[in-house]
Amino acid sequence: MEKTRLELIAKMPRIKFKFEEELKGYSFTKTGGVADVIAFPKTIIEVYEIVNYCRLENIEYTVLGNASNLIISDKGLRGITIILTDMNDVRIFDDRIVAAAGAELIHTCYQALSENLTGLEFASGIPGTVGGAVFMNAGAYNGQIADAVESVEVVLPDGELKTFNAEEAKFGYRDSIFQHIGAIILNVTFKLKKGDRREIETQMRELTDARIEKQPLEFPSCGSVFKRPEGYFAGKLIQDAGLQGYTVGGAKVSEKHAGFIVNIGGATAEDYKAVIKHVQETVLAKEGVALETEVKILGE
Ligand SMILES: Cc1cc2nc3c(=O)[nH]c(=O)nc-3n(C[C@H](O)[C@H](O)[C@H](O)COP(=O)(O)OP(=O)(O)OC[C@H]3O[C@@H](n4cnc5c(N)ncnc54)[C@H](O)[C@@H]3O)c2cc1C
């Protein structure tokens, strides 16, 4: 990026910036080359300042939460990479939770438990941020984030601040309107219900145990790589196609859960992409089903 460090620091002095930093240190797959600039806003105003600056200076930007659903290019990201994890306030008002986009979803679920609020138990093992979960309409064990969302506050690429209700968010399977309008999610209000603390806690524990038993959590990964095709399970198709253990470089189709591609050491984004392509081609040839990625692939 042409802009000098000094200019960014001078124009937005309160915002923490890092320059020429490898993104693999931030991503769950441990892939990702060098970002020109990373910004860590702590408030809505700071996000707004960055978006406005980028618009006026014609600089591209990319938003990351916990980077738990991403494969970031080995060539890194141009422009400003906005990482929202320093914006992580969670507040409870009776049966509502207002969480900043960068708050850990898991932390938010435990905050709900602390107030005997039910409705987020299904999400208590999803390692993303609240913003990333709403963007993706993350889901598990018959639950999806859409069911708990009341409203979502965003900033649009033209700098407009806007609030969407759940209907306007147009949630679909691992989809939301925010994926199609370039919105940055800033705050999310969840509407939950008072419940029985012991029941909420038991369900959260059981789901966590199920994850530990079924998922290869001992390796870096981005969770399930593929969306569930209508009428099938991606993991089962991959298993039936004999692809478990298939490896390119450091990226391997997990033997514990075929839907996961794990980094067994030194995997690059290119390794991941090669495994994904091979899995898609093989499943299509052997099982006749086209697998679509759930994971987002960012950068060149
Ligand atoms: C071990 C493991 C288990 C997982 N289990 C599940 C599961 O059960 N169910 C499930 O659905 N997912 C699961 N995931 C995937 C992932 O945790 C979710 O998709 C999560 O919601 C992503 O949140 P994030 O903050 O990490 O988003 P990121 O990975 O940082 O970003 C994902 C996308 O969202 C965008 N984004 C992030 N934050 C914002 C924001 N504030 N505003 C606008 N855009 C934003 C990014 O640009 C990117 O396109 C799992 C991942 C792992 C590693």
Task: Report, as an integer, the average pLDDT of 151-157.
Answer: 97
Confidence of residue 3 (pLDDT cuts 50, 70, 90): low
- In the reported structure, the alpha carbon of residue 38 is separated from the centroid of ligand 1 by a whole-number distance in angstroms of 18
Tell me what percent of the residues of the chain surpass a pLDDT of 70. Answer: 99
- In the reported structure, the alpha carbon of residue 4 is separated from the centroid of ligand 1 by a whole-number distance in angstroms of 31
Sequence-ordered list of residues with C-beta below 8 angstroms from that of 111, at least 6 positions apart, any chain: 90, 92, 97
* Window from 6-15, 28-37, 182-191 with minimum mean pLDDT: 6-15
Among 62, 121, 136, which residue has the most ligand 1 atoms within 8 Å of its CB, making it the best to mutate? 136
CATH class label, 5-83: alpha beta
Residue nearest to atom 3 of ligand 1 (CA): 223
Among 43, 60, 135, which residue has the most ligand 1 atoms within 8 Å of its CB, making it the best to mutate? 135
How does pLDDT run across 18-51, given as a tens digit for each residue?
A: 999 999 999 999 999 999 999 999 999 999 999 9
Asked if the 234-298 domain carries CATH number 2.40.50.140, the reply is no
Looking at residue 41, what DSSP letter applies? Answer: -
User: Which pLDDT value is given to residue 6?
Assistant: 87
SS3 at position 287: helix
Q: Could you give the residue range(s) of every CATH 3.90.78.10 domain in the chain?
A: 234-298
H or E segment at 21?
strand 16-22
- In the reported structure, the alpha carbon of residue 130 is separated from the centroid of ligand 1 by a whole-number distance in angstroms of 9
- In the reported structure, the alpha carbon of residue 2 is separated from the centroid of ligand 1 by a whole-number distance in angstroms of 30
Give the integer Cα–Cα distance in Å for 107 and 99.
10
Atom of ligand 1 nearest to the CA of 101: 41
Question: What's this model's pTM, rounded to 2 decimal places?
Answer: 0.96
Asked if the 90-214 domain carries CATH number 2.40.10.220, the reply is no
Q: Label residue 249 exposed, middle or buried (CB < 10 Å: 0-12, 13-18, 19+).
A: middle
User: Which pLDDT value is given to residue 91?
Assistant: 98
Residue 2 above 80 pLDDT? no
Q: Could you give the residue range(s) of every CATH 3.30.43.10 domain in the chain?
A: 5-83
Tell me what percent of the residues of the chain surpass a pLDDT of 90. Answer: 97
User: Which pLDDT value is given to residue 240?
Assistant: 96
- Contact 105/133 with Cβ under 8 angstroms? yes
Sequence-ordered list of residues with C-beta below 8 angstroms from that of 91, at least 6 positions apart, any chain: 97, 98, 99
Residue nearest to atom 34 of ligand 1 (CA): 132
- Contact 8/36 with Cβ under 8 angstroms? no
How does pLDDT run across 232-263, given as a tens digit for each residue?
A: 999 999 999 999 999 999 999 999 999 999 99
Residue nearest to atom 27 of ligand 1 (CA): 132
SS3 at position 187: strand
Active-site annotation, residues: 174, 224, 294
- Contact 164/154 with Cβ under 8 angstroms? yes
How does pLDDT run across 199-232, given as a tens digit for each residue?
A: 999 999 999 999 999 999 999 999 999 999 999 9
Atom of ligand 1 nearest to the CA of 62: 47
